[in-house]
Amino acid sequence: MQSAPQLHIAASIAIPPALAAIAQGRDHIKTSEFAHTFSRATQTILKNHCLNGECFGIRPIKQGKFLLWPVADIAKALNGGAHG
């Protein structure tokens, strides 16, 4: 049985299948989706962002009243990249 294909962003970052399912081809995901990816409560993510400007070493962008988290940076963190 073949494993599920992984999406690749910038050709060097392997996107885990579970993250690819959440992102559905988007470059950024919402805070609630980010929290689900790291098995944390949304409020924990928001608190870490408020105190440090980042969460797990990942800085979001703000669009309107929403924080959007870059999928490429999340993939790096999930694949063993540095987190804070």
The reported pLDDT for the residue numbered 31 is 98
- Give me the pLDDT at residue 2, please: 52
The domain in which residue 41 lies consists of 7-78
Say if 53 falls within a structural domain. yes
pLDDT at 14: 86
- Give the 3-state secondary structure percentages of the chain, helix then strand then coil, rounded to 5: 40, 25, 40
pLDDT tens, 3-30? Answer: 544 554 445 678 999 999 999 999 999 9
Backbone angles phi, psi at 81, to 5 degrees: -70, 170
For residue range 44-61, list pLDDT tens digits in order: 999 999 999 999 999 999
Tell whether 33 is covered by a domain.
yes
Work out how many domains the chain is built from and give that number: 1
Is 48:84 a contact under the CB 8 Å cutoff? no
2 belongs to a structural domain = no
Q: Is residue 83 part of a domain?
A: no
Q: Is residue 31 part of a domain?
A: yes
Question: Residue 68 domain-assigned?
Answer: yes
Q: Is position 50 within any domain? A: yes
Give Rg (Cα) of the chain: 13
Amino acid at 35: A
Q: How confident is the model at residue 65 (pLDDT cuts 50, 70, 90)?
A: very high
